[in-house]
């Protein structure tokens, strides 16, 4: 008796969609930060680029693209690398990193970059739970 093959998770076949969500999160982070400080939007590219570079570095790390929707380790690695590289580049190029900025950056990026990964995790667990009862 043959069984149907396990379906391939969409995240494994299309990691670019998940990378796009991460990019959107970083862009939202930069935009909200600028708006909350009353900064002119002409500085938006200069605010966003260090964290976009950090995100790209995170996605270059082996394994990130294999399972991009899981909280651990992917979500945490993407968040940590994006935050550290982004802050380092900002500091190296003369951008502000004083006061509470690094902490606020870390918290907001954690909420955004790890937070969206909760949804696929919950959906997967719900499917597994339902599958036990069928």
Residue 48, both tokens: 């966003």
- Is residue 107 reached through a cis peptide bond, with omega within 30 degrees of 0 on the bond before it? no
Residue 6's pLDDT is: 46
pLDDT of residue 129: 84
How confident is the model over 45-100, as pLDDT tens digits?
A: 999 999 999 999 999 999 899 999 999 999 999 999 999 999 999 999 998 888 99
Give SS3 for 106: helix
The residues spanned by each domain of the chain are 15-131
**Confidence band, pLDDT 50/70/90 cuts, at residue 134:** low
Q: Tell me what the pLDDT averaged over the chain comes to.
A: 89
Listed ranges 40-44, 96-100, 103-107; the one with the highest mean pLDDT: 103-107
Q: Please say whether the beta carbons of 55 and 76 come within 8 A.
A: no
Residue 1 to residue 125: CA distance in whole angstroms: 28
- Whether the per-residue pLDDT at 12 is higher than 60: the answer is no
pTM: 0.85
Band of pLDDT at residue 7, cut at 50, 70 and 90: very low
pLDDT of residue 68: 92
Rounded average pLDDT over 114-127 = 89
């Amino acid at each position: 008796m043959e069984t149907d093959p396990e379906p391939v998770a969409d995240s494994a076949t299309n990691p670019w969609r998940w990378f796009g969500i991460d990019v959107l999160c970083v862009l939202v982070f930069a935009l909200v930060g600028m708006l909350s400080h009353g900064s002119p939007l002409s500085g938006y590219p200069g605010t966003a680029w260090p964290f976009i570079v950090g995100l790209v570095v995170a996605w270059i790390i082996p394994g990130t693209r294999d399972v991009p929707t899981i909280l651990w380790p992917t979500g945490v690695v993407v968040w940590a690398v994006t935050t550290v590289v982004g802050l380092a580049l900002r500091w190296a190029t003369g951008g502000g990193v004083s006061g509470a900025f690094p902490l606020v950056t870390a918290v907001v990026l954690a909420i955004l970059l790890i937070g969206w990964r909760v949804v696929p995790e919950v959906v997967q667990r719900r499917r597994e739970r339902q599958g036990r009862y069928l």
